[in-house]
Amino acid sequence: MLKKINPQEAHKILQQENGALLIDVRSSIEYSFVGHPLNAINIPIKEPPNWNVQLRFIEQVRESLVADVVDNNQSGDVPLLVLCRSGQRSALAGEILIEGGFTNVFNVLNGFEGDKNKNGHRNTINGWRFQGLPWEQS
């Protein structure tokens, strides 16, 4: 079952759980130009121009997890936190990961940019950046 957490809870897990991975599933363009949480790994669930689900998504997550586990001499079911712009693509990615056999998967609600306000602007109501959590731009 996909667990749902807010950005503050996600940040806390990343600080406290050794080996927890934050996977930013937005496109590589969004990740680079809009910004991303510090130490997030970019593994897009969809990429332009067709925006189809990436066939190697689970494989790429496994590769990142294996590299991290080996680097930190860890094993077991580390937390995987998935994040996108607003929480929709990350929910899809989380379900795909669960179907692929992962069991400790969290969808970061409201994502990096959060929901739109009444004027259609993001970063004004909720989300990782709105909460003032650490992020960077490439």
Retrieve residue 23's tokens: 């996977």
Number of domains in the chain: 1
Parent domain of 15: 3-132
- Domain membership of residue 55 (yes or no) is yes
C-alpha 104 chain-centroid distance: 13
- Domain membership of residue 94 (yes or no) is yes
Give the mean model confidence (pLDDT) for residues 71-87.
77
The CATH number linked to 56 is: 3.40.250.10
What is the rounded average pLDDT for all residues in the chain?
92
The span from the CA of 66 to the CA of 70, in Å, is 6
Strands 135-136, 3-5: pairing is unpaired
Q: What is the pTM of this model?
A: 0.92
Look at residue 41 in the predicted model and tell me its pLDDT: 97
pLDDT grade for 68, boundaries at 50, 70 and 90:
low
Between 67 and 119, the more confident residue is 119
Q: Are 36 and 24 in contact (CB under 8 A)?
A: yes
Give the mean model confidence (pLDDT) for residues 66-93.
78
- Domain membership of residue 138 (yes or no) is no
Strands 3-5, 105-108: pairing is parallel
Residues 91-113: tens digit of each pLDDT: 999 999 999 999 999 999 999 99
Give the mean model confidence (pLDDT) for residues 127-133.
97
